[in-house]
Amino acid sequence: MAAQELTGVRSPSAGEYDPHTLEPRWQAYWDEQRLHQVHEGGQRPKRYVLGMFPYPSGRLHMGHLRNYTLVDVVARYSRMRGYNVLNPMGWDAFGLPAENAAIQHGEHPARWTYGNIDVMRNQLKRLGISYDWSREIATCDPEYYRWNQWLFLLMYRRGLAYRAEARVNWCPACQTVLANEQVVGGECWRCHSRVEQRLLKQWFLRITAYAERLLQDLDLLEGWPERVKVMQRNWIGRSEGAQVRFRVKETGDELVVFTTRPDTLFGVTFMVLSPRHPLAQRLTEGTPQAQVVRRMAEQMTAREQELAELPKEGVPTGAHAINPVNGEAVPIWVGNYVLMEYGTGAIMGVPAHDQRDLEFARRYGLPVRIVIQGPGVPEDPARLERAYEEPGVMVNSGPFTGLPSEQGKRAVVEHLQAAGLGQPSVQYRLRDWLISRQRYWGTPIPIVYCARCGEQPVPEEELPVVLPAQVDFAPKGKPPLASSPEFLQARCPRCGSSAQRETDTMDTFVDSSWYFLRFCSPRESRLPFDREAVAYWMPVDQYIGGIEHAVLHLLYSRFFTKVLYDEGLVSFQEPFTRLFTQGMVTLGGYAMSKSRGNVVDPLDVVSRFGADTARLFILFAAPPEKDLEWSESGVEGAFRFLQRAYRLVDQWAPLLEGVEAYRSGDGQSLGERERALRRAVHRAVRKVTQDCEERFSFNTAIAALMEAVNELYRYREQVADQPHRGVIRESLELLTLCLAPFVPHIAEQMWERLGHAPSVHLQPWPAYDPQALEVEQVTVVVQVNGRVRDRITLPADASEEELRAA
RNA sequence: GCCGGCGUGGCGGAACGGCAGACGCGCUCGACUCAAAAUCGAGUGGGCAGCCCCCGUGUGGGUUCGAAUCCCACCGCCGGCACCA
C-alpha cells in the first residue's frame, strides 16, 4: 500500500474519522437494540456497577464525565467478560438549588428540576454511557419519595426516628438546619456560610445505635480505599474508658465523668463542668459566678467551631467533689473547654497527665499531682513543662502504685465496678443524624400532630404524603410547607380529630441512602424494592464516586442497609462491596468551579472532538484515583490517536476482505516482522486485561494500545509491498476489541469496517496468545556491583548454565 | 496535636526489588508542500565534541549482587479529624 494514499485529507471526506456522524449513529443503534437493558436471572453471573447519581443542576460537569466514563469502562468490559451487568442511572433530584430558582426566577422547583433532568439525560446519552435507561428514577417523584416516608416509618417503628429538642446547626443563608456531617470546618457544605447553633425541636435518625457495627464492619470492606475507611473511623470516633461516679460533698448530688484514663484517678485535683451542665447552673445559683456561667454557656453556643481558639477559662462553683478512690474533696469548677455533647458534660481534672487540664490548673493556681511515672517526668510537679500523657507506671496511687498504666486501667475499673462507683464505658464522637429541613423541595416527614394524641405517624396506606404544588417559597422564618393550609390540615389517624402535619422535609441524604436498592426494581409499587430483585443484584459490586461523600452518603447508606438487614428485608450487611473514589478534574491546579471561573464544559469538548475523544483523554491523562489536570493539547493528542487507529482500519480494510484472521498453530510460519507485530499486539491485550481486571489502571491500558498502534504503523512502513493480511486482520480485530470499553463508538465503527456485523460490544473479551509473547532471543543484562557491565543475547530457552557460561 | 496519602524530565505520568523516564503533551529536525496546516519519520533527563563514560527518582542513613521500589530518620506538600476528656 502506497504511503501517499494514507496521507492527508483534512475533514469529512470518505475514510476520515468523523465522530460527529459516527457517534449519533451508533448511539441510536444501541438504543433501538436495547443493548443495555438487563433482566434478573440467566446463566451469566451478575455484576452491579454504579456511579453516584447526580444532582440535576442543569449541566454535566467534568467530575460527572470522569465518574461516568469510569463506570462505563467497567460496565462495558464486564459485559464482554460475560457478566450480566446492571448499570442504572437516576437523579438525586430534591434539594435547595431548585428552590432558589423558584425564589429568584419564579419557576416552580418541579418544572426547573425536570427540565434539567431532560437536558442532562441527553448529555449523558451523547457521551455514550451504556445505561439501562428503562430503570431511570428521580427522587422527587412521589413514586420514589413515598418510600422515603415508608422507610422513615419503619425507623420510627423501630425506635430509630425520634423528635427531640437539641442544639443544632443552622445555616442562615439556606435557612435550614444541617446534620453534623454537612458542617465542614464550621461552614455549610453547600453555601459555605458560617453555621450557627440553635436550640430547636427536630427529627433525628438514631445512627448512634449502629456506631459499633458501622465501625466493626469497616473491616469487612476489603474493596474500599483505606482513606475512606480511616475517615469513617475518625468520624465515628470510638474511645474506650470508664464512667466514674463522684459525689458532691455539699449537696449529695452524683457527678459522673467519662475518662479514658482511669489509671490517673489518684491525680485528680479538681473537676470541671460544662457551662451547660445542669449542675453548673444549680451549684452556682444565687452566687456572683452564676452570671459568668451563663455568659460562658452563650459563648459556647454561638461559636462552637472557634472554641479551640478560645483561652481556657472558668469559675469555681464553691462546691467540692469526693474522689471515690481516695475520699479526697476537690473543688468543682465550670470551664469553657468542656463540651456538653460528649461524654457526660463533666470531666475530672488531672493536670499532670492532660495538657488541657494542665493549662487550666496553671491559670488558676490549682495543684498538680504526678501519678504516672515515665521517662522525662520530673519529681517536682512544678517543673512539669507539658502534661505527661503517655503510658507509664502508677505512683502515688494507693494500692495501685507500681502497676503499669494499661494494667492499672483495668484494675481501677474493676475496683470501681465492685464498689458500685463506676463501670467500663465506650464513647463515640458520632452524633445522631438530624434529618429535619425547613425547606420545600424535599420529602414531607409523614407525621401529624394531634392536640389530643400528640405526635402520630401517618398510616402506610395513606402514603405518599404529597408535596403541595402551591406554597410560598420564600422562607420567612417558617418552613414553606406551613404556608399551605390544605397541606397543613390533617386528621389524626388515631382519634380522627383535626390535626396538623409536620411541615419540615427530610434531608436529601435520606433519598440517596437507598436509591441503589430501588434500581433493582424501579417500578415496584408495593414495597421500596422487590426482595428477589435485590437478592439477585445486590450488593453493588463496584461503586464509583467522589471522595467528598466519605462520611456523608457512604456512612448513611451503610446505616440504612444495616437497619434493613435487621428488619429482615435484605440479607447483606454492607451495600457496596468495592468502592472506587476518583480524583478531581482541575484546571490551573484548582478544582473546576464557577466562582473560580476555570470551568471547561465537557459537552463543548464533545461537540468539537466527539465523546470518544473526551472519554479517552479523561481516562488517559492520569490514574483515575488521582487529580487530573485538564489539558487542551492533551485532548488533541487523544483525538490524534483515534484518527491514527481509525486510519489503520479504514485503509487496510479493502485488503482484508475475505481474509481470515491469523491463528497461531495453523501451521503457517511467520517472518520476524510479523512475529514482532503479534508480540506487541498480544502484549497490549494482556496489559489491558490486567489493568481492567486487577486494578483501575486505565491510563496504562490505553498507553499499551497506543504502543500497539505505533507498532502497526512501523509494520506498515516496513512491509509496504508484502503485508501479511491474516496477521493484520488479527491485530486490527484485537485492537478494536480492546478499545471497545474505552471508546465505544469508534470501536463499533472499526468493527463494522472490518466486515463484522454489530455489535462489537456483544463480542467476548479476547484472550492473548501466550505463544505470541514468546521471544526467541533475550538480552540479558549483566550487572556487577550494581553496574551494567555487559549485555548478552541468548536464545530464550537457554538454561541457567548456558547463561553463566556466556 | 493525632491519623492517612504523596514527593520521578519542561509538563501529565510509567516502572513498584532487575537496562529509570513506557505512553502522551511540548519542543527540535527531516520528508511531503509554492507555502502553511495536517500527515509520516527521527530526536528529546543532565554532563560531554562524542562514547560502550559520569551524574540522576525530596534529604541523610541502612538492607541487598542490585533500591525510584524494602527499612529507619528528617524535610516539603495534600487531605481528614481536632479542647472528644
Instruction: Answer whether any strand B atom is within 7 A of the Cβ of A786.
Output: yes
CA A628 to C1' B12, in angstroms, rounded, equals 8
Whether pLDDT at A173 is above 50: yes
Instruction: Answer whether any strand B atom is within 7 A of the Cβ of A589.
Output: no
Q: Which three cell numbers stand for residue A58?
A: 442543569
Instruction: Answer whether any strand B atom is within 7 A of the Cβ of A237.
Output: yes
Give A461 or A780, the one with higher predicted confidence: A461
Instruction: Answer whether any strand B atom is within 7 A of the Cβ of A166.
Output: no
CA A453 to C1' B75, in angstroms, rounded, equals 67
Q: Which three cell numbers stand for residue A788?
A: 551494567
Instruction: Answer whether any strand B atom is within 7 A of the Cβ of A424.
Output: no
Which of residues 9 to 38 on A have a Cβ less than 7 angstroms from any strand B atom? Answer: 10
The pLDDT tens digits of the residues spanning A339-349 come to 888 899 999 99
Which of residues 637 to 666 on A have a Cβ less than 7 angstroms from any strand B atom? Answer: 637-638, 640-641, 643-644, 647
CA A685 to C1' B54, in angstroms, rounded, equals 40
Average pLDDT, stretch A361-377?
A: 92
Whether pLDDT at A4 is above 60: no
The pLDDT tens digits of the residues spanning A257-296 come to 999 999 999 999 999 999 989 999 899 988 999 999 988 8
Instruction: Answer whether any strand B atom is within 7 A of the Cβ of A7.
Output: yes
Would you place residue A806 in the very low, low, confident or very high pLDDT band (cuts 50, 70, 90)? very low
Would you place residue A13 in the very low, low, confident or very high pLDDT band (cuts 50, 70, 90)? very low
Average pLDDT, stretch A311-317?
A: 89
Structure letter (DSSP) for residue A694: T
Distance CA A778, CA A679 (A): 14
The pLDDT tens digits of the residues spanning A380-408 come to 999 988 899 888 999 999 999 999 998 99
Whether pLDDT at A592 is above 90: no
Give A803 or A553, the one with higher predicted confidence: A553
Task: Give phi and psi for A498, each to the nearest 5.
Answer: -70, 140
What is residue A306's predicted lDDT score, i.e. its pLDDT?
57
CA A630 to C1' B46, in angstroms, rounded, equals 29
CA A699 to C1' B22, in angstroms, rounded, equals 12
The three-state secondary structure class of A443 is coil
Angle subtended at Cα A31 by Cα A30 and Cα A35, rounded to the nearest 5 degrees: 50
What is residue A667's predicted lDDT score, i.e. its pLDDT?
64
Closest CA to A63 of A577, A624, A555: A624
Distance CA A534, CA A525 (A): 15
CB neighbours of residue A316 within 10 Å: 17
Average pLDDT, stretch A701-724?
A: 89
Task: Give phi and psi for A228, each to the nearest 5.
Answer: -70, -40
Q: Which three cell numbers stand for residue A770?
A: 501466550
Whether pLDDT at A423 is above 90: yes
What is residue A785's predicted lDDT score, i.e. its pLDDT?
46
What is the CA A141 to chain-centroid distance, rounded?
Answer: 24
Burial A318-353 (b: 16+ CB within 10 A, else e): ebbbebbbeeeebbbbbbbbbebebbbbbbbbbbbb
The rounded mean pLDDT for chain A is 89
Residue closest to B78, CA→C1'?
A627
C-alpha separations of A206 from A160, A183, A202 in Å: 5, 18, 13
Average pLDDT, stretch A120-124?
A: 97
- Mean pLDDT highest for which of A95-109, A129-143, A354-368, A419-433? A129-143
Would you place residue A430 in the very low, low, confident or very high pLDDT band (cuts 50, 70, 90)? very high
CA A260 to C1' B84, in angstroms, rounded, equals 11
Q: Nearest nucleotide, C1' to the C-alpha of A350?
A: B85
CA A183 to C1' B51, in angstroms, rounded, equals 64
The pLDDT tens digits of the residues spanning A16-25 come to 899 999 999 9
Whether pLDDT at A805 is above 80: no
Which of residues 706 to 735 on A have a Cβ less than 7 angstroms from any strand B atom? Answer: 706-707, 710, 713-714, 717
Distance CA A580, CA A164 (A): 37
Q: Which three cell numbers stand for residue A475?
A: 422562607
Instruction: Answer whether any strand B atom is within 7 A of the Cβ of A363.
Output: no
Q: Which value, to the nearest 10 degrees, does the dihedral of the CA atoms of residues A748, A752, A756, A758 take? A: 40
CA A714 to C1' B56, in angstroms, rounded, equals 32
What is residue A484's predicted lDDT score, i.e. its pLDDT?
92
Whether pLDDT at A456 is above 80: yes
Show which positions of strand B are touched by protein (CB under 7 A).
Answer: 3-5, 11-15, 18-20, 22-26, 32, 37-42, 53-54, 65-67, 79-85
Contacts of A340 (CB under 8 A, 6+ apart): A274, A276, A277
Instruction: Answer whether any strand B atom is within 7 A of the Cβ of A338.
Output: yes
Q: Which three cell numbers stand for residue A174?
A: 439556606
The pLDDT tens digits of the residues spanning A144-159 come to 999 999 999 999 999 9
Which of residues 661 to 700 on A have a Cβ less than 7 angstroms from any strand B atom? Answer: 697, 699-700
Instruction: Answer whether any strand B atom is within 7 A of the Cβ of A261.
Output: yes
Average pLDDT, stretch A121-130?
A: 96
Average pLDDT, stretch A298-312?
A: 64
What is residue A799's predicted lDDT score, i.e. its pLDDT?
46
CA A499 to C1' B18, in angstroms, rounded, equals 79
Whether pLDDT at A448 is above 90: yes
What value of ipTM does the predicted structure carry? 0.94
What is residue A304's predicted lDDT score, i.e. its pLDDT?
52
Report the DSSP beta bridge partners of residue A314: A335
What is residue A475's predicted lDDT score, i.e. its pLDDT?
66
Average pLDDT, stretch A190-213?
A: 89
Q: Nearest nucleotide, C1' to the C-alpha of A703?
A: B23
Average pLDDT, stretch A455-459?
A: 96
CA A62 to C1' B2, in angstroms, rounded, equals 34
The pLDDT tens digits of the residues spanning A767-792 come to 999 888 876 555 554 444 444 444 45
Whether pLDDT at A549 is above 60: yes
